Amino acid sequence: MVPKQTAAIQSNWMNGQASIGFRRLKSSLKNALLFIYAIFTLYPLIWLFINAFKTNDEIYSEPFALPNQWHWENFTRAWEVSGMGTAMVNSIIVTVLALALTLLLGALSANAIARFNFKLKVPIVGLFLIGMLIPIHSTLVPLFILMKKVHLLDTYSALILPYAAFELPLAIFVISAFMSSLPKEIEEAAFIDGTGYWGIFWRMMLPLSAPAIATVSILGFLRFWNDFAFPLVFINKTSLKTLPLSLSVFSNGYSTDYSLTMSAMALAVLPTIMIYLFFQEQIMKGMVAGAVKG
Partner 1 sequence: MPSHTRARGFLAFCLIPSLLLFALFVLVPIVWSIYYGFFSWKGIGDAKFIGLDNYKEVLHDPVFWGALKNNAIVICASLFGQVPIALFLALLLSKSNMFQRFVRSAVFMPMVLSSVVVGLIWGYIYQPQIGIFNLVLDYLGLGSFKKEWLADPKFAIYSISLPIVWNYIGPYLVMFIGALKNIPGEIDDAVKIDGPGPFRKLFAVKLPLIWDIIKVAVVLCISGSLKSFDLVYVMTGGGPAHSTELLATYMYNNTFAIYRYGYGSAISATILIISLVLVAGSQFLMKGKSR
Q: Exposure string (b/e) for 126-138, b if CB count within 10 Å is 16 or more?
A: eebeeebeeeeee
Nearer to partner 1, 3 or 44 (CB): 44
Closest distance of CB 60 from partner 1, Å: 6
Nearer to partner 1, 77 or 258 (CB): 258
Closest distance of CB 177 from partner 1, Å: 16
Q: What is the x/- site pattern for partner 1, positions 164-193, by CB under 8 A? A: xxx-xx--x------------------x--
Asked if residue 1 binds partner 1 (CB under 8 A), the reply is: no
Asked if residue 282 binds partner 1 (CB under 8 A), the reply is: no
Closest distance of CB 166 from partner 1, Å: 6
Closest distance of CB 18 from partner 1, Å: 17
Q: Rule CB under 8 A: which of 5-24 touch partner 1?
A: none
Asked if residue 284 binds partner 1 (CB under 8 A), the reply is: yes
Q: Rule CB under 8 A: which of 106-135 touch partner 1?
A: 106, 108-109, 111-112, 116, 118, 124, 127-128, 131, 133-135
Nearer to partner 1, 1 or 292 (CB): 292
Asked if residue 156 binds partner 1 (CB under 8 A), the reply is: no
**Of these, 15, 19, 24, 30, which contacts partner 1 (CB under 8 A)?**
30
From 30-38, 72-80, 173-181, 206-214, give the range in contact with partner 1 by CB under 8 A: 30-38
SS3 string, the chain, reads CHHHHHHHHHHHHHHHHHHHHHHHHHHHHHHHHHHHHHHHHHHHHHHHHHHHCCCHHHHHHCCCCCCCCCCCHHHHHHHHHCCHHHHHHHHHHHHHHHHHHHHHHHHHHHHHHHHCCCCCHHHHHHHHHHHHHCCHHHHHHHHHHHHHHCCCCCCCHHHHHHHHHHHHHHHHHHHHHHHHCCCCHHHHHHHHCCCCHHHHHHHHHHHHCHHHHHHHHHHHHHHHHHCCHHHHHHCCCHHHCCHHHHHHHHHHCCCCCHHHHHHHHHHHHHHHHHHHHHHHHHHHHHHHHHHHHC
Asked if residue 44 binds partner 1 (CB under 8 A), the reply is: yes
Question: Which amino acid belongs to residue 209?
Answer: S
From 7-15, 66-74, 79-87, 245-253, give the range in contact with partner 1 by CB under 8 A: 245-253
Q: Rule CB under 8 A: which of 253-272 touch partner 1?
A: 258, 261-262, 265, 268-269, 272
